[in-house]
Amino acid sequence: MNLPPLVQTFVLHFGEMGSRWGINRTVGQIYALLYLSKEPLNAEDIVERIGVSRSNVSMGLKELQAWNLVRLQHKPGDRRDYFSTPDDIWQIVRTLVEERKKREIDPTMSLLREVLMQEPASAEERHAQDRMREMHDLFELLTGWYADVQRLDTERLVQLLTLGSKVQKILEMKDRLFVVPGSRKGRPDDAKDK
């Protein structure tokens, strides 16, 4: 591995971290390297710096492309492929969340929908179905929220995140301003915390 120490530390860390997510060490390292690099890199550059085989880099880049996490570009008079990550880190976050949703939440949601259609054949199955319905509703709430937030432009998103705990204050204010005085507080269908 042929990298400035500071870069190497980060690249190694991301390699290890990769295993905690579904990606392998090499993919994590390639991504980290591209993320830190000022200039786009070609496959051979990556081979030299990370020190893995050319074919491994090829597969890693393919996977990163499948995740939409790298951008492919060309330099004039050079027919090699050059790769880079978006300059805007928020774009990276958006892509990451979107792709993870696509791979993890969406398939689970369709499985849940499917299973919830079936007729339970026993008390045990009925309870299991109830549990699955809770999960389904939770995911629906989260993905609905996500879809909305995803649409916000970055400036507003940052504003929202910075707001942090003050959100509660704003909700309270909203309640005071808009809720009909004397109306009940909870909604009937999710008042089931044990």
Q: Which residues bind DNA (CB under 7 A)?
A: 19, 23-27, 42-44, 52-56, 58-62, 78-81
| Closer residue to a second copy in complex, CB, 54/113 | 113
161 makes contact with a second copy (CB under 8 A): yes
The one of a second copy, DNA, none whose footprint includes residue 9, by CB under 5 to 8 A per kind, is a second copy
160 makes contact with a second copy (CB under 8 A): yes
The one of a second copy, DNA, none whose footprint includes residue 124, by CB under 5 to 8 A per kind, is a second copy
End-to-end CA distance of the chain: 54
Could you tell me how many residues of this chain bind a second copy (CB under 8 A)?
72
The one of a second copy, DNA, none whose footprint includes residue 24, by CB under 5 to 8 A per kind, is DNA
**CA triple 99-41-58, angle to 5 deg:** 60
Radius of gyration in angstroms for the set of CA atoms belonging to the chain, rounded to a whole number? 23
CB of 56 to a second copy, least distance (A): 20
CB of 192 to DNA, least distance (A): 29
CB of 131 to DNA, least distance (A): 23
Tokens of 150: 């995803």
Residue in 93, 97, 106, 113 binding a second copy, rule: CB under 8 A: 93
Residue 60 · residue 27 · CB < 8 Å: yes
CB atoms within 10 A of CB 133: 13
The one of DNA, a second copy, none whose footprint includes residue 97, by CB under 5 to 8 A per kind, is none
The one of a second copy, DNA, none whose footprint includes residue 125, by CB under 5 to 8 A per kind, is a second copy
CA-closest candidate to residue 150, choices 106, 85, 113, 101: 101
Judging by beta carbons within 10 Å of its beta carbon (0-12, 13-18, 19+), is residue 123 exposed, middle or buried? exposed
- Helix count (H) and strand count (E) of the chain? 9, 3
